């Protein structure tokens, strides 16, 4: 099986375009609820029909992550989770919110694009062969200071698709990992975009690179480790969660 950065086919290209470009002005309506994180300077809106995971559920997800790293300190990787009130028959839809300290505050826009693209390619080479994962090229929305990419992965519970959004802050990256059974990606893609558009960093904390170079991913001559401690860790966490956590959570939820 050939592993590497995907050359998206027509369906994937249309889906990614929809995820990035559609629903830019979507409103959550009067039934939305806001959660404010003062420490990390962001606000997230939870629309009607979605529920925040209970604290014990997030603790269980974080234990999966901690155990996968061989650690015992119970580190908080994921801040919260969101699930639809009605789950599809094919499996569990889940959105996880993560904060990764660090970031790209001292870099130009073109540098960020090169490093992100290089890091995604490095993770695809390193873990794709073992897990059968495929990662799309990242898309950059510099109006929103946001990165978007997709991950496809086979699993014992069936193929999984994930859309990840990264909001670039001056002191880190706020990640929104959106997981769904592959058969539901067509219907869930616009919903994930709506959720992502309901996450807002405080204006003073949004990263605004000074370089106005045109968007485009280039990897030549870029060391994935340069200034890039954030992206590799996030992507590895993403794939490990898909491999280990997805099936475990699905089995436990179905057995409840």
How many domains, the chain?
A: 1
pLDDT at 47: 86
Task: Return the H-helix or E-strand segment holding 150.
Answer: strand 146-153
Residue 256 falls inside a structural domain: no
Q: Name the nearest CA neighbour of 231 among 72, 97, 120, 142.
A: 120
Tell me which residue range forms the domain holding 210. 10-250
Task: Considering only residues 249 and 39, tell me which one the structure prediction assigns the higher pLDDT.
Answer: 39
Residue 169 falls inside a structural domain: yes
pLDDT at 242: 54
pLDDT at 201: 96
CATH of the domain at 136: 3.40.1000.10
pLDDT band at residue 134 under the 50/70/90 scheme? confident
Q: For the whole model, what pTM was predicted?
A: 0.76
Give CA separation, 220 vs 39, 45, 111, 217, in Å: 37, 39, 11, 10
Residue 99 falls inside a structural domain: yes
Residue 1 falls inside a structural domain: no
Q: For the chain, what is the mean pLDDT?
A: 74
Residue 4 falls inside a structural domain: no
Residue 255 falls inside a structural domain: no
Of 70-79, 131-140, 200-209, 245-254, the least confident: 245-254
Q: Which CB contacts under 8 angstroms, 24+ apart, belong to 178-182? A: 178/94, 178/95, 179/92, 179/93, 179/94, 179/95, 179/96, 179/242, 179/246, 180/88, 180/91, 180/93, 180/94, 181/88, 181/90, 181/91, 181/92, 181/93, 181/157, 182/152, 182/158
pLDDT band at residue 226 under the 50/70/90 scheme? very low
Please report which residue ranges of the chain form alpha helices under DSSP H: 10-21, 55-68, 109-131, 185-197, 230-240, 246-255
pLDDT at 101 over 90: no
Residue 58 falls inside a structural domain: yes
C-beta of residue 50 within 8 angstroms of C-beta of residue 82: yes
Instruction: Give me 106's structure tokens.
Output: 């001292």
Residue 5 falls inside a structural domain: no
């Amino acid at each position: 099986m050939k592993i590497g950065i995907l050359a998206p086919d027509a369906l994937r290209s249309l889906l990614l375009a929809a995820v990035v470009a559609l629903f830019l002005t979507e409103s959550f309506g009067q039934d939305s609820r806001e959660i404010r994180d003062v420490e990390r300077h962001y606000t997230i809106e939870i629309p009607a029909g979605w529920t925040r995971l209970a604290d014990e559920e997030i603790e269980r997800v974080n234990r999966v992550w901690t155990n996968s790293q061989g650690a015992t300190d119970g580190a908080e990787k994921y801040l919260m989770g969101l699930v639809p009130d009605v789950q599809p028959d094919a499996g569990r839809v889940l959105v996880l919110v993560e904060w990764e300290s660090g970031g790209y505050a001292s870099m130009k826009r073109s540098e960020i694009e090169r490093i992100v693209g290089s890091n995604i390619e490095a993770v695809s080479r390193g873990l794709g062969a073992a897990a059968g994962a495929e990662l799309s090229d990242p898309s950059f929305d510099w109006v929103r200071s946001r990165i978007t990419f997709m991950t496809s992965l086979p699993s014992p519970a069936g193929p999984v698709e994930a859309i990840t959004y990264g909001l670039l802050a001056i002191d880190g990256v706020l990640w929104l990992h959106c997981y769904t059974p592959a058969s539901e990606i067509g219907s869930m893609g616009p919903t994930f975009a709506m959720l992502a558009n309901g996450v807002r960093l405080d204006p003073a904390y949004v990263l605004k690179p000074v370089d106005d170079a045109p968007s485009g991913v280039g990897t030549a001559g870029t060391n994935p480790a340069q200034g890039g401690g954030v992206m590799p860790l996030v992507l590895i966490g993403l794939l490990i969660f898909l491999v280990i956590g997805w099936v475990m959570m699905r089995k436990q939820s179905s057995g409840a």
